A and B are shown apart, each in its own frame.
Chain A
Amino acid sequence: MTRNGPLALIFHTLVVLFMLAPLVIVCLVAFTPENTLSLPTRGFSLRWFQAVFHHPDFVQSFWNSLWLALLSATLAVALAVPAALAITRWEFRGRGFLNTLFLSPLIIPHLVLGVAMLRLFALVGATGSFGWLVAAHIVIVTPYVMRLLIAAITGFDRSVEQAAYSLGASEATVFRRVTLPMILPGVTGGWLIAFINSFDELTMSIFITSPSTVTLPVRMYMYATESIDPMMAAVSAIIVGITAVAVLLLDRVYGLDRILVGQH
């Protein structure tokens, strides 16, 4: 039941169409049986998806992106949980600084981060290293995890931990049996959004990937500047599909609006 007038609803519909149009068309074109970019008016075909799977560069990049995202999301969570606990639970000198530091990748353009890391990698001989690439992605996605964790931890009734402690639990047991389960939605949500952001990342990755570590978005970018054919649409459709799955999971686990908009 909406309280919006018809004019508002028309406007709203246009906005929705505007937001969905590029994604829809990408998914449609991916199924075209033709040789050129066109809508699948004469039937659907999976030939371009097959072309992707037979294109070694793209397959390699897909796995690169997947592993990269899995590793950086998991490690980001592993680093962020203790850091978020530290920042929210204690007053100490440097707390404000650390808070800003951990959230800084959000306001530093990925372009700047990319070239800065390129310089660092050149100096320490890390160019082409998958490990360093993972480290760079961890840094990029950690702010998203931190924000969610900080929200989860501050919304926490501390006396529950005290209750467990008073019943004889050690600090470690309190963390394992009480704290962690209670912040789990924040942890899982944070992991998912970190995964998505790493998988999607382009601008920074362009500068710090090497031929063996090229990620899927970078591969697409390089390919798109040369030639455009429906295979790109197929790759895009795959990415949209993966994102859709992740988004649905995210919504189920945590609530998409809560993650993107924040709790209030």
Chain B
Amino acid sequence: MSAAAPRFPTPLILSAPAALLFAALILTPLVLTALLSFNEFEHATGRTHGFTLDHYLAVLTDSYYLEIFLRTFRVAALATAICVVIGVPEAYILSRMGNPWRSVFLLVVLAPLLVSVVVRAFGWSMLLGPEGPINAALVALGFGRMRLLYSEGTVIVALVHVMLPFMVIPVWTSLQKLDPAVEQAALSFGASRGTAILRVVAPQILPGILSGSLIVFGLSASAFAIPGLLGGRRLKMVATIVYDQYLSDLNWPMGAAVAVLLLAANLIVMLTYHRVVEGHYRRRLG
């Protein structure tokens, strides 16, 4: 029977409490921030008022900011690329495991997601620190102590660690939807393992890879704790700018402008993905 369910109170009443909370704590603050980004800022008094595009202009033209944007983009892009290179094969290997190993290792790879980012960043700072095991190994091998912390490389490595689950999950999902018989069909027609993977498996999991890449890129570009703890004071990223503006310079309008740009960038990327990629793949793969 597919008839209407017993009559409940209308759906609007049911979703009202949550909707109100979200309107108050998501929509309103975002609107306020957007408005704030157009305010002038008086350094002397710390007051904000009026309307100006100065902050946006500064952000988009000042070399200080542009350098940081470039760095952020570079770091995020590299982290994403490495996540693809490591995460996709790992997801594939996991999918080819039998139980119970598969469940165990899926847990192992995904569970760190649930540990606070501070702890993970701290763990890396210990691993790569002057007293840490990596350096100890380098000394033992005769390379001498290396300064591994506070560089772009450290930040990228730690980002990869934090972001890898976000890549594995969508790729894994794509792999689950695969019909294994399709790969076998390719083999039965004489394709080598490599060709089968490249021409049959990879195209079908491409949506998953793209989805994962976008998530990883977006999260990496707005990352705060990792650059903060492992990048040092000189290695600033977009999130650091916002932090500095809001909590040390107290130039909230400026910080708001950067935040708005960051949000806009995230949303544009998400929307483009949905429109272009999903549409394309939905037609092909259903």
Q: Do chains A and B touch in the complex (CB under 8 A)?
A: yes
Q: Known: A200-B115, A224-B229. Contact between A18 and B161, CB under 8 A?
A: yes
Smallest CB separation, B178 vs chain A (Å) = 11
CA distance A98 to B20 in the complex (A): 11
CA distance A39 to B97 in the complex (A): 34
The residue of chain A having its C-beta at the shortest distance from the C-beta of B131 within the complex is A37
B36: Cβ under 8 A from any A Cβ: yes
A227: Cβ under 8 A from any B Cβ: no
B93: Cβ under 8 A from any A Cβ: yes
Q: Known: A16-B108, A86-B14, A221-B225. Contact between A243 and B114, CB under 8 A?
A: yes
A102: Cβ under 8 A from any B Cβ: yes
Contact present for B96 and A3 (CB under 8 Å): yes
Q: What bracket does the count of chain B residues touching chain A fall in?
A: 35 or more
Contact present for B90 and A15 (CB under 8 Å): yes
Contact present for B218 and A87 (CB under 8 Å): no
Segment at the interface with A among B56-64, B98-106, B198-206, B277-285:
B98-106
CA distance A4 to B255 in the complex (A): 50
Contact present for A196 and B18 (CB under 8 Å): no
Smallest CB separation, B54 vs chain A (Å) = 18
Q: Which of B11, B23, B239, B243 has the most CB of A within 10 A?
A: B11
CA distance A113 to B124 in the complex (A): 26
The residue of chain A having its C-beta at the shortest distance from the C-beta of B239 within the complex is A111
CA distance A165 to B26 in the complex (A): 38
A79: Cβ under 8 A from any B Cβ: yes
CA distance A90 to B95 in the complex (A): 37
| A residues 205-236 in Cβ contact with B at 8 Å | 206-207, 216-217, 220-221, 224-225, 228, 232-233, 236
Contact of A82 among B14, B89, B126, B219 (CB under 8 A): B14
Contact of B32 among A37, A89, A116, A257 (CB under 8 A): A116
CA distance A251 to B104 in the complex (A): 11
- Binary CB contact string for chain A from 3 to 33 against chain B (1 if under 8 A, 0 otherwise): 1100011011001101111110110010000
Contact present for B133 and A16 (CB under 8 Å): no
B207: Cβ under 8 A from any A Cβ: no
List the B side residues contacting A112 at CB < 8 Å. Answer: 30, 33, 222, 259-260, 262-263
CA distance A221 to B106 in the complex (A): 29
Smallest CB separation, B153 vs chain A (Å) = 15
Smallest CB separation, A146 vs chain B (Å) = 8
- Binary CB contact string for chain B from 238 to 269 against chain A (1 if under 8 A, 0 otherwise): 01001100110000100110011011001100
The residue of chain A having its C-beta at the shortest distance from the C-beta of B224 within the complex is A203
List the A side residues contacting B107 at CB < 8 Å. Answer: 247, 251, 256-257
Contact of B173 among A1, A119, A120, A261 (CB under 8 A): A261
Contact present for A123 and B222 (CB under 8 Å): no
Smallest CB separation, A249 vs chain B (Å) = 11
CA distance A233 to B101 in the complex (A): 30
Contact present for B29 and A16 (CB under 8 Å): no
Smallest CB separation, A132 vs chain B (Å) = 9
The residue of chain A having its C-beta at the shortest distance from the C-beta of B115 within the complex is A243
- Binary CB contact string for chain B from 184 to 220 against chain A (1 if under 8 A, 0 otherwise): 0000000000000000000000000000000000110
Contact present for A89 and B5 (CB under 8 Å): yes
The residue of chain B having its C-beta at the shortest distance from the C-beta of A165 within the complex is B6
Contact present for A22 and B5 (CB under 8 Å): no
B3: Cβ under 8 A from any A Cβ: yes
CA distance A107 to B274 in the complex (A): 13
CA distance A9 to B129 in the complex (A): 29
List the B side residues contacting A138 at CB < 8 Å. Answer: 21
List the B side residues contacting A94 at CB < 8 Å. Answer: 12
Q: Known: A171-B8, A239-B119. Contact between A83 and B15, CB under 8 A?
A: yes
Contact present for B256 and A119 (CB under 8 Å): yes
Could you tell me which B residues sit within 8 Å of A by CB distance? 1-3, 5-8, 10-12, 14-15, 17-19, 21-30, 32-33, 36, 86, 89-90, 93-94, 96-98, 101, 103, 105-120, 122-127, 129, 131-133, 161, 164-165, 169, 172-173, 176-177, 218-219, 222, 224-225, 228-229, 239, 242-243, 246-247, 252, 255-256, 259-260, 262-263, 266-267, 270
21 A-B residue pairings within 8 Å (CB atoms)? A9-B93, A19-B109, A20-B108, A22-B122, A23-B112, A25-B132, A26-B123, A80-B18, A82-B15, A85-B8, A102-B22, A107-B218, A158-B2, A196-B114, A200-B114, A217-B116, A220-B119, A221-B118, A225-B228, A243-B114, A256-B106
The 3 closest A-B pairs by CB, nearest first: A22-B123, A86-B11, A109-B222
Contacts A2-B98, A108-B26, A220-B116 supplied; 13 other A-B pairs, CB < 8 Å = A15-B86, A19-B164, A22-B124, A23-B115, A80-B18, A112-B222, A112-B259, A112-B263, A171-B7, A199-B116, A201-B116, A221-B225, A264-B176
